Chain A
Amino acid sequence: MTVAPATKAAAPNVLVRYSPLLIHALAWEAAARLHLVSSLALPPLTDVVQAWVELVASGELVSNGLSSLYRAGAGLALAIAVGSALGIFMAISRPVNAMLGPLVELFYPMPKSALIPVTVLWLGFGDGSKILLIFLGCMLPVTIGAYNGARGSDQHLIWSARSMGARGPRMIWDVVVPSALPELLNGVRTALALSFILLVSSELIVARQGLGNLIGYLGANGSYEAMFAVVLTVAFIGFLADRVYQAVVERALRWRE
């Protein structure tokens, strides 16, 4: 999302554009150093950076981070695979749509965080329950994106593909999927954001490992510098994932221009 007028991203422009963030960082440091706020409530930014370096050096941040990324990645991959297949079949088959449409409509508005205790009930405190939660929580946005995209695919394309002898899976893969792609990928972006929310929430509430768990653990121990360091790391990974995803999508959709 960019609200600022398009600029020919020169380095000074980037600096000017992001200078408000720098101002925030300076204000944070100043407020903490001048004891305007308790250093318990807001440790100085430099201390947080130091705590971050220590967390990386001890390997805690990396091992928990990898375990979180594995959970989010596995859940999201399943959600994308199953979700897009469901959406495309709903779009090309009336019976499938009649069967699944009402269920999708029923479950889509459900706040997915309600599933946290159930996945724990089924699969315990480990990786399995997080992967299941992210899979279930992220599937429907992908399904709806794929459905809308595939339903909007040009009927003439499908007819001409049919007349040239394309059938079944071949036709779906070559004609329906490419035309569904933009909306499908939009659904995946929503799912990506959701996966981080669900991952962190479930790890905060019930987990033995992962970044969310590390945040809760550090907070309970009163090591607030380290807690802030992990919180900012999680926030940054979420931001980075979104930007990387958008860059990849832009490349993937270049053929449409």
Chain B
Amino acid sequence: MTDTVRRFAWGAARLAPIIVLLAAWEMFARSGAVTPFMLPALSAVAERIYDDAAGGDLFLNIGVTVYRALAGFAIAAVGGVVLGAAMARNRAARWFFDPVISVGFPMPKIAFLPVIILWLGLYDVSKITMVVLDAIFPVVTATVAGIASVEKELVWTARNMGAKNRELLWQILLPAALPQILTGLQVALPIALIVVVVTEMQMGGYGLGGAMMQASRFANSRGVFAGIVEIAVIGYALVAAMAWLRRRLLAWHQEAQGATGV
């Protein structure tokens, strides 16, 4: 019982700075030091979010944005692991893709957005392609590094017991590399979210980024701030979900057994 109370108190203590920040926002906006155009009051922004939600637009925009981000992220995850595994296990694949990956990783791929629009048009395909293009690099490098660092003894033992290539990959290499692969995915997810918002802002249409840009064009600052709050909440939820997934998937791994918080 005392444990629950203590946990509750701890959670409340951590919430305090956030509540203070929100209160300061509201008071500063109402104080008249800034115009409502520069900084609308939190309550006005909340009202706007409520209106969007009541009209159904909010859920449509969230759904579209999350769909694009997660579709691109999923393709990047699968493609990245496949490519990374191929590069780690096959010399020809490594020769061909290594320079592409090491040159492409640090490049700002977002600069290719107009090229992708030129090729694929303004709809979902080009937005998802853009997400894949940006999110795949961390997954590939994490997979290559993860598989390369699997202990040799583990591989030899499996071979000795007659494991075929496919069994070796699925039962030894990928599980052993999983912590690093997941780290790569945790790097890729925020990138996917940044990119999806940018593509929506650039191309317009439905989606949280498009809605924000629309509000910005009409100098509707309540709409812009509502968009920021919505995108921040979605980003926080998705990143937290990814961390939860990591704990679930690695429940067998020693990193989870240590059970130390940040």
Contact = CB atoms under 8 A, between A and B. Distances in A.
A159 interface: no
Interface residues of B, number: 67
Given A4-B98, A238-B107, A109 B119 contact: no
Interface string A100-123: 111100110111111111101110
B197 A224 contact: no
Interface string A196-212: 11011100110000011
A2 B102 contact: yes
B21 A113 contact: no
A117 B201 contact: yes
Contacts of B107: 235-236, 238-239
Given A3-B101, A121-B221, A204-B202, A113 B209 contact: yes
Interface residues of A, number: 60
A238 B198 contact: no
A227 interface: yes
A114 B144 CA distance: 32
Nearest to A14: B99
B224 A103 contact: no
Interface stretch (B70-78, B157-165, B228-236): B228-236
13 contacts: A4-B94, A4-B95, A18-B99, A20-B95, A20-B99, A41-B119, A111-B190, A117-B216, A121-B38, A121-B224, A200-B110, A230-B111, A239-B107
Interface of A: 1-4, 16-21, 24, 40-41, 98-103, 106-107, 109-118, 120-122, 193, 196-197, 199-201, 204-205, 211-212, 215-216, 219, 224, 227-228, 230-231, 234-236, 238-239, 241-243
Given A20-B100, A118-B225, 13 more contacts: A17-B95, A20-B97, A99-B17, A106-B232, A111-B197, A111-B231, A201-B110, A204-B110, A204-B202, A205-B202, A234-B111, A239-B103, A241-B106
Interface of B: 13-18, 21, 37-38, 87, 94-103, 105-115, 117-119, 134, 141, 144-145, 148, 190-191, 193-198, 201-202, 208-209, 212-213, 215-216, 221, 224-225, 227-228, 231-232, 235-236, 238-240
